[in-house]
Amino acid sequence: MNRLYIITVILFIGTLANIIKAQEPIIQTKFTADAAPIVHNGTVYLYTGHDEDDAPEGMAGFRMKEWLCYTSTDMVNWTERGVIANLYDFKWADAAISGWGEFENGAWASQCIERNGKFYMYCPVQGRGIGVLVADNPLGPFKDPIGKPLISNQYDSIDPTVLIDDDGQAYLYWGNPNLWYVKLNEDMISYSGEITKDSSIAKVDGQKDPYHYQEGPWVYKRNGHYYLAYASTCCPEGIAYSMSDSPIGPWQFKGYIMKPDRRSSGNHPGIIDYKGKSYLFGFNYRLNFMITDKHHERRSTCVAEIKYNSDGTIQELPWWYEGTAVQAVGSINPYKRVEAETMAWSEGLKTNKNDKNDIYITSIDNGDYIQIKSVDFQKGATYFQAYAASINGGNIEIRIDSLDGPLIGNCQIDNIGGWRSYNSAINKTSGIHDLFLVFKGGEGQLFNIDYWIFK
């Protein structure tokens, strides 16, 4: 074997490893899409739609009944916070039907925004209009304050997004294939003036650009510029954007943030600044295609760092599969209780809730694992504890740096049933590492895990 061939193989393997790392969806225990992030008190709250596991085969076979939330303080590890709202929170939406039927597929792309200490969640109920829910906490509980749609179903009423301008005026935008907007009152649950269809969206030299607005608007203001990011060019959809000097346009098409790709029929942007960096959220179908080669509307939320040019324009990103993985902007403290559903990556696992409404990891089989990035062991840990409930029993291999990296401990989960603490001494470990909890045992489900901690 010649030296050039060996070098080529090594370079190919390295490139493949980077691609695999880059394409990892940030949520793996559920199918999620239409991510809508906000930053509150130093934490990112990521609201998503939920594609059901049994979504039928084929394009547009959506099965969506609820909205979820995840949080992070480092942009790489995400903690599931559970169901934030569902279709049944809108009593007006089911008044004319029995058992919801097709409208169990109608919990489409939402957005939550904070104002004056309250959190307002704008939710399209597909075919019925856009409703609004209000809570005193970003994790709810959310309640319907008006008992009717805020926006009726006659205005392409999907994909709401909200901007609160510097002067305090709030705007609600939405629509497919048109872009609509209206001025919200300060109470955020009513509006004033006419509902307006934008006539300038994404025009180049007075003509509608060939990479046109389709749906999924995300409006925000940054450094004096107004941005309208959106899903473009159906189908497949990319993520394009326009800019303006006003919250109501006219909008000038500026280009792609991410070009369309045949591996994704749709898209929906969500954009934030956090800890000095800027991020774009969207989705691909990697988790679905890890299971089957058939297309189902079972999407997987992704995130990438974006960069702005000096004139405010956005640098184009490659497709999710080819992009660079987001780097941690914080670390996990393992000496405080860490919920088991906090993870950067996992395989084979699901989440569930107990009678106290606590989320835990379940569906644990031999060979499944959790990866937690950027765990700061500081001066050194010597002890591991997991709170688990045995089903058939097994072991947790505690590894660092990689899935087959150094084994620093092995925690045995005895086959005795019930929730209890399981403890294990580990090799003293210090510094910042990726942590891998690798599950080993016999056939069938091994155990469930609620949380873990090092000492």
Q: What stretches in the chain show pLDDT beneath 70? A: 1-23, 94-104, 202-211
Contacts of 283 (CB under 8 A, 6+ apart): 25, 32, 33, 34, 35, 264, 266, 267, 268, 299, 300, 301, 302
pLDDT of residue 21: 52
Check if the beta carbon of residue 67 is closer than 8 Å to that of residue 131.
no
Tokens of 410: 């092995």
Rounded to whole angstroms, the Cα distance separating 383 from 403 reads 20
Mean pLDDT estimate for the chain: 90
**With the CA atoms of 346, 349, 355 and 358 taken in that order, what torsion angle do they form, in degrees rounded to the nearest 10?**
0
pLDDT of residue 165: 98
Q: Which CATH superfamily is domain 14-322 in?
A: Glycosyl hydrolase domain; family 43 (2.115.10.20)
pLDDT of residue 101: 53
pLDDT of residue 20: 44
pLDDT of residue 435: 98
pLDDT of residue 208: 61
CATH of 338-454, one of 2.40.50.140, 3.20.20.10, 2.60.120.260, 3.30.540.10: 2.60.120.260
Rounded to whole angstroms, the Cα distance separating 409 from 427 reads 6
Burial of 60 (0-12, 13-18, 19+ CB in 10 A): exposed
Q: What separation, in Å, do the N-terminal and C-terminal C-alpha atoms of the chain show? A: 50
Q: Where are the domains of the chain?
A: 14-322, 338-454
**With the CA atoms of 309, 302, 272 and 176 taken in that order, what torsion angle do they form, in degrees rounded to the nearest 10?**
90
DSSP helix/strand/coil, 315:
coil
pTM of the model: 0.93
